[in-house]
């Protein structure tokens, strides 16, 4: 997946991510992305264990439920999402540092000043934006 150029994201899942971010504001929301490669077919909302306006940690029990949900559907957890309630949708240094090695895809939902969703492949020392195609 490291060579991915585009991410296929259904409009209803994008809307669910934005709604999750709005519900959790001013704290960051977080969750996991389920699909195959760069085709997202579901998003699993998770609890943010640190309940912070600037950081997130996905609750381990919620992560486990997402993995079971994905496997039951013949899919994978391909990445994660979180929100930046008051800043733009670009990975922070902690986002890059804390990224999962097994699922480097990260969607970020910014609410400032209006909802924006952007996708990134997180790599050692940085990130590369990938284009989102609405499906």
CATH code, residues 6-134: 3.40.140.10
Mean pLDDT to the nearest integer, 14-26 = 97
> Contact, 89 vs 75, CB < 8 A?
no
Burial of 124 (0-12, 13-18, 19+ CB in 10 A): exposed
Q: What is the pLDDT of residues 72-102, one digit of tens each?
A: 999 999 999 999 999 999 988 878 777 655 5
For residue 1, which of 112, 123, 97, 90 has the smallest C-alpha distance? 123
The pair of structure tokens assigned to 67 is: 């993995």
How many beta carbons lie within 10 A of that of residue 72, not counting itself? 8
- Look at the chain and count its residues: 135
What is the pTM assigned to this prediction?
0.91
Residue 125: per-residue pLDDT: 72
Q: Where does the chain show beta strands of DSSP type E?
A: 6-9, 30-36, 39-46, 76-84, 105-110, 116-123, 126-134
Higher pLDDT, 93 or 117: 117
């Amino acid at each position: 997946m490291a060579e991915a150029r585009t991410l296929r994201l259904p409009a209803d899942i994008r809307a669910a991510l934005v709604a999750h971010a709005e519900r959790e504001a001013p704290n960051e929301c977080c969750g996991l992305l389920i699909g195959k490669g760069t085709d997202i077919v579901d998003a699993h909302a998770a609890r943010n264990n640190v309940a912070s306006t600037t950081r997130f940690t996905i609750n381990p029990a919620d992560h486990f439920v997402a993995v079971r949900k994905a496997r039951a559907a013949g899919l994978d957890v391909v990445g994660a999402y979180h929100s930046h309630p008051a800043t733009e949708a670009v990975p922070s240094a902690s986002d890059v540092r804390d990224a999962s090695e097994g699922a480097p895809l990260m969607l970020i939902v910014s609410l400032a000043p209006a909802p924006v969703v952007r996708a990134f492949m997180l790599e050692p020392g940085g990130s590369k934006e990938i284009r989102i195609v609405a499906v």
